Structure 1
Amino acid sequence: MTNYITQYTPSNSPTFASRAFGYIALTMYESVVHGYPDHYSMAGQVNGLEALPLPEIGQDYDWVLSMNAAQAQIIKDIYQQTSDENKLKIDSLEQAIFEHISDTIAPEIAQRSVDYGKSVAHAIFEWSQTDGGHRGYLKNFDKNMVHPSFPGSWKPPLYAQSFSHYPLHPHWGENRTFAKANHELQEPYMIPYDTVPGSPYYEQFMAVYKKEKTLTREEKEAAIWWGDDPDVTFTPPGHSYYIATLVVEEKNPNLITTAEAYAKTAMAVADAFIKCWEWKYQYFSERANTYIPQFIDQEWESFWPDPPFPAFPSGHAIQAAASATILEKTFGNEFVFIDRAHEGRERDEVRDTDFVPRHFNTFWAFAEETANSRFYGGIHTPQDNEAGLEKGKMIAENILALNWKHQ
């Protein structure tokens, strides 16, 4: 349901979606954590969240009902702009689960559980409004922004995903991270600008140029699969949430392990987008669609259209590395799975390529293919991806370092 609402809510973006998943999944965890004495709440640990409602001492709760009520509430709170039809879908799912569970427990326990879940959701939503990204869909593009202009600076391309000549969410990097340690993370190194053939910077774009000339069918399939355009999909953060769901369905862990896996994944991805956007606007770096036509081949166009924001580092790479690291540390290095997220989508006639499900044997393999897909698409250089993968892993490790469980 969370992925459905993400896909079918207007004015969404990867940045806002990452934030939404972070709060929704943390709410999932906090709505059940006090039913498991060996686990710690994130209250007092994550940035600015001092306290949350506590269950009544000595009273019984049904934690599935608590989670159910909390999820329904927080999704509607975070996605205020979604349609009334979508809100009815959320309510319908909440009611169906309530009826299924409540038949077997006392009415007062059921009501107490629902009330507690909603109180947690309300408290987390109230806290969320102070992070800098509240209702971020109302300010996707800052029309008052003055573009920095220097050799190698980002410029709105002619061949792009968006009609906007203003970059997406230029202030997103100022938002509050979930993990305090992620706020302090050092920026990645970027190769200095150069137009001399053979220089390290030039060779980054030459690699993109050469790859576009030799794309295989499999590489084209990867490029369109991981596009996750927010206008037609559940966005890149939603794709990571989808993969977490595949793991949960396969492994079938208990309630708290499930909630913990979602919370860690979504919070890591949310922090990855904040840091990535901070660095994107710090460097304000160009993409291949402006550099290659100017210095290598004036007729060149990328296989995939440019997204409306600066290049370095790669958002796809950083968020995929963050989620893969979390899932790897939670469920083990090796996990064989088939990603069917876009199975059945109509063939991409513009690029003469089909949507073909992806097969992976490890979580890191999905992170690497996600990063490489942007290189195949011609919208990221190797250094964009390398920096993204490296920093995404660090961001995830800072989420994992929070006190989740008694050792």
Structure 2
Amino acid sequence: MNRFLILLAGVALIFSSCKKADYQKVTHDPELYRTTVKKLNDIVLENNFPPVIASRNYVYANIAAYQVIAAGDPKHFRSLSGQIKHLPVSPAPPKDAEVDFQFASMLAFCTVGNAVTFPEGSMEIYIDSLKQKAKDAGMPSGVFDNTVAYADTVAKYILKWSKKDNYAQTRSASKYTVKRIDGRWIPTPPMYAQALEPHWGEIRPMVLDSAAQIPAPQPPAYNMTDKNSVFYKNVMQVKGMVDSLTTEQKHMADFWDDNAFKLNVIGHASFGTKKFSPGGHWMNIAGVGSAMKKADFGTTVAAYTETSIALFDAFISCWDIKYKANSVRPETVITKLVNPDWRPYIQTPPFPEYISGHAVISAAAAEVLTQAFGDNIAYTDSSESEFGIDPRKFTSFRAAAQEAAMSRVYGGIHYKIACTEGNKLGQKIGDLVNKKLQLKIK
């Protein structure tokens, strides 16, 4: 009889272990985290978040997820508390209570993403679907309840911290003053929109000590009377390129356009179209790197998190420079002084020209992803396929960043010097993030 009971107990234990392994195959799958990040990306797109605000959505959601992973696996992942100097110590997981940390990380990501996007609650349906997926996979009710509770605890801690980053204060800050002075930015057609987020340089960064920590050279002085001036040559270079674009150059410009909201005007009719923001595009690329390298769940979360931190700080640095320089866009100069009928290939966004945001953030993200997944990692980026744009192949993340920068010249919205200097600045920011943050314990 005793042998029979022992046998039964053994069978029960094996069954229990198999059941546990079954649900973890679902909740520990890095593809599910990539899908979760893409879901937030879709919501950011649908609700027309401008690129700088989108970067804020990504960074807090990913940090919430990462802090859960670090709490659950401290032997392999180091908490960001203490590495990001203003991030308080993360809540410890409950003692003697089993938590599925991978599943908790996704719930924390979604809860934070749910709160920092609008309309608030946009991720509720997806959160419910995640919970149902875990239940259907056989997650025990006790583990489920513990996991949900811990995810909520971490999410609340991150949201409380996020409220001190000066975002709320910048909502009521003064607007940009339009002055029609030669060389100074003014709104451009067809939207003639107000300057976007002129106080973003005042947002609290993650790794940078301040927005101005890493300086960039001053832009060339406005001078359209001297044909040998740096400014004049940059203006005419943009015009010449746009007037003679090759099919390949047009593809580059379209691929990296990443205009969160483009106003299309046809006769008396107008309509808007949306794409991922530049930061959203690089979130997708982080997912490509994770999938290509077959990274495990924790490594995947760490890569997304460090990329989002690099993007966030890069936007703050870039925007600080933009609104100190207040440089005029090529479209304004060319239509006023060269050809009134000239138009850029892609639509000019509503903020000053120098320094190129795409160049800065792309290079910063590329440095982080290079450290995470390696240099010279050839990959195909099909992020824009859902917008009818063919994929592009790259030999490395850095090569992609360089193309992203140059694409803005082909698009006719930046001078080349703003892109080359932007790429240099982004590399320095990405390098600083790599040096200051050590997420994985070697």
TM-score for the superposition, normalised by structure 2? 0.82
Task: Check the 8 A contact 1:53/1:120 in 2, yes or no.
Answer: yes
Tell me how large the CA RMSD over aligned residues is: 2.1
Residue 392 in structure 1 maps to residue 431 in structure 2: no
Which of residues 155, 159, 181 in structure 1 aligns to 2:186? 155
Equivalent residue, structure 2, for 1:350: none
2:214 to 152, 169, 186: 186
The letter of the residue matching 1:92 is D
Distance 2:350 2:309 in 1: 24
Q: Is the 8 A contact 2:211 2:320 kept in 1?
A: no
Where do 1:24-103 residues align within 5 Å? Answer: 24-38=61-75, 39-82=77-120, 86-101=122-137, 103=138
Structure 2 unaligned residues grouped into runs of 5+ = 1-38, 262-273
* Aligned 8 A contact 2:65 2:109 in 1: yes
Q: Distance in 2 between matches of 1:19 and 1:100?
A: 33
User: Within 2, Cα distance between the matches of 1:336 and 1:100?
Assistant: 37
Partner residue of 1:233?
Answer: 275
What SS does the corresponding residue of 1:31 show, helix, strand or coil? helix
Instruction: Select between 235-244 and 191-200 the one with higher mean Cα deviation.
Output: 191-200
Cα gap change, 1:95 to 1:109, in 2 (>3 Å): closer
User: Which is further off, 300-309 or 377-386?
Assistant: 300-309
Identity %, equivalent residues: 28
- Structure 1 residue 264: deviation in Å? 0.4
2:239 is the counterpart of 1:214: no
For residue 299 of structure 2, what is the aligned residue in structure 1?
257
Aligned to 1:349: none
Which letter maps to 2:230? P
Amino acid at match of 1:227: D
For 1:1-400, list aligned pairs within 5 A: 1-10=39-48, 12-38=49-75, 39-82=77-120, 86-101=122-137, 103-104=138-139, 106-134=140-168, 144-147=175-178, 150-157=181-188, 159-160=189-190, 162-164=191-193, 166-181=194-209, 183-189=211-217, 190-195=219-224, 196-231=226-261, 232-346=274-388, 355-400=389-434
Deviation of 1:35 (Å) = 1.9
Shift of 1:193: 2.4
Distance 1:100 1:44, change over 3 A: farther
Q: Which amino acid aligns with 2:364?
A: A
* Contact 1:46 1:180 (C-alpha < 8 Å) held by counterparts: no
Residue 220 of structure 1 aligns with an amino acid whose one-letter code is: K
Q: Distance in 1 between the 2:108 and 2:135 partners?
A: 16
**Structure having greater relative contact order (Cα 8 Å, sep ≥ 6):** 1
Counterpart contact for 1:29–1:263, Cα < 8 Å: yes
Amino acid at match of 2:348: D
- Given the two structures, how large is their TM-score scaled by the length of structure 1? 0.89
Is this contact kept in 2: 1:27–1:71, CA < 8 A? yes
Task: Give ranges in structure 1 of 5+ residues lacking alignment.
Answer: 347-354
Question: Does the CA-based 8 Å contact 2:408-2:414 persist in structure 1?
Answer: yes
* Aligned counterparts of 1:143 and 1:406: Cα–Cα separation in 2: 44
Change (3 A) 1:177 1:214: same
Deviation at residue 187 of structure 1 after TM alignment: 2.2
Structure 2 CA distance for partners of 1:344 and 1:130, relative to 1, 3 Å: closer
CA distance in 2, matches of 1:367, 1:144: 31
**8 Å CA contact retained: 2:283, 2:308:** yes
Structure with larger Rg = 2
Report how far residue 36 of structure 1 moved.
Answer: 1.8
Q: Does 1:404 align with 2:439?
A: yes
Answer yes or no: is the 8 Å Cα contact 1:25–1:266 preserved in 2.
yes
Measured against aligned partners, the alpha-carbon deviations of 1:342-374 in whole angstroms (never above 9, x if no partner) come to 22535xxxxxxxx22111121112111211111
Distance in 1 separating the partners of 2:169 and 2:213: 26
The separation in 2 between residues aligned to 1:217 and 1:122, in whole angstroms, is 49
Q: Secondary structure at the match of 1:185?
A: coil
Partners of 1:69 and 1:125 in 2: how far apart?
14
1:253 counterpart letter in structure 2: A
8 Å CA contact retained: 1:7, 1:233: yes
CA separation of 1:59/1:344 partners in 2, compared to 1, >3 Å: closer, same or farther? closer
The CA deviation at 1:191 is 2.1
How many residues are paired up? 388
Is the 8 Å Cα contact of residues 359 and 402 (structure 2) preserved in structure 1? Answer: yes
The match for 2:17 is none
